[in-house]
């Protein structure tokens, strides 16, 4: 059974927010309808609906500090806690590809799902009072009018460092499954039993590897700079005595 998901490589994410706004621009005009509202767009405390946000935080103490950019959107859990709590059946998980969606027509904006979601991935459209979230760009990934390599979520296409992979995590041969297996891809808070489909690839470090021996080389170019003092043949030498 297919389970589509994003795999996000924290080793190359530079926190540029390309995924944040490319998601917004695709989905606000998306097939789901209704748009993605912005409140106080030009005033005090602007806020709005985004399906995907980048959180930046620091780990460790100076100077051993890591700055981590952490993009987060709906994780399309295999056991999504947002679905059973929905009183109207608006929140559902698709059998065919595992995408968790909201039927806006059925949603009454009661927010049960956002309380149930341990990841804070749901966003209430404050104007329409409808719960919205990442759809994995369901309205473009199956669009056969697009070239095949462009049938991916907008955030994946936008990402300049290719930190976002998209595919079927149930297919062991897919690029996402291979990346998870080879790079130690992990889920967020697996202890909650939600079995998020999205995974993250951890940072990995290449350490300096300077071999002191490598500093001592017969071909050190400084040797070429040694000047042999010119010695006169007029100086006394053994040749004056030996025969």
Q: Considering only residues 211, 234, 239, 240, which one is a binding residue for another protein as defined by CB under 8 A?
A: 211
Residue range at the interface with another protein (CB under 8 A); choices 31-39, 97-105, 185-193, 234-242: 31-39
Interface with another protein, residue 16, by CB under 8 A: yes
Interface with another protein, residue 68, by CB under 8 A: yes
b/e code 148-164 from CB counts within 10 Å (16+ = b): eeebbbbbbbbbeeebb
The CA–CA distances, whole Å, from 23 to 143, 186, 208 equal 17, 23, 38
Q: Which is nearer to another protein, 225 or 239 (CB)?
A: 225
Q: Which is nearer to another protein, 50 or 166 (CB)?
A: 50
- Give the residue from 69, 118, 110, 55 showing the smallest Cα distance to 88: 110
Interface with another protein, residue 150, by CB under 8 A: yes
Q: Which is nearer to another protein, 52 or 174 (CB)?
A: 52
Structure tokens at 125: 């459209």
Applying the rule CB under 8 A, the residues between 179 and 208 that interact with another protein are: 203, 205-208
Interface with another protein, residue 41, by CB under 8 A: yes
Structure tokens at 20: 């944040």
Interface with another protein, residue 233, by CB under 8 A: no
DSSP-assigned letter for residue 216:
-
Complete edge-to-edge strand list for the sheet that includes strand 164-168: 164-168, 4-9, 199-201
Q: Considering only residues 4, 36, 100, 121, which one is a binding residue for another protein as defined by CB under 8 A?
A: 36
Q: Which is nearer to another protein, 29 or 237 (CB)?
A: 29
Dump the DSSP string for 166-201. Answer: EEETTSTTSHHHHHHHHHT-B-S-GGGS---S-EEE
Residue range at the interface with another protein (CB under 8 A); choices 84-92, 110-118, 155-163, 186-194: 155-163
């Amino acid at each position: 059974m297919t389970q589509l998901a994003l795999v996000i490589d924290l080793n190359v994410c530079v926190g540029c927010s390309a995924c944040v706004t490319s998601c917004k621009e695709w989905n606000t005009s998306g097939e789901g309808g209704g748009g993605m509202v912005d409140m106080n767009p030009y005033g005090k405390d602007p806020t709005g609906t985004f399906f995907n946000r980048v959180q930046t935080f620091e780990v460790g103490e100076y100077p051993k500090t890591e700055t981590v950019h952490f993009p987060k959107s709906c994780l399309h859990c295999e056991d999504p806690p947002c679905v059973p709590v929905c009183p109207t059946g608006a929140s559902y998980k698709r059998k065919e590809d595992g995408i968790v969606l909201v039927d806006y027509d059925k949603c009454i904006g009661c927010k049960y799902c956002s309380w149930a979601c341990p990841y804070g991935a749901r966003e209430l459209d404050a104007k329409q009072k409808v719960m919205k979230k990442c759809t994995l760009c369901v309205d473009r990934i199956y669009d056969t009018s697009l070239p095949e390599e462009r049938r991916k979520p907008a955030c994946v296409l936008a990402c300049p460092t290719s930190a976002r992979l998209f595919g079927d995590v149930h297919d062991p041969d897919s690029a996402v499954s291979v990346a998870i297996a080879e790079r130690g891809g992990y889920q967020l808070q697996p202890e909650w039993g939600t079995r998020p489909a999205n995974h993250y690839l951890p940072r990995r470090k290449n350490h300096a590897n300077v071999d002191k021996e490598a500093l001592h080389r017969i071909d050190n170019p400084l040797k070429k700079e040694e000047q042999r003092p010119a010695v006169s043949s007029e100086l006394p030498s053994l040749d004056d005595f030996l025969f």
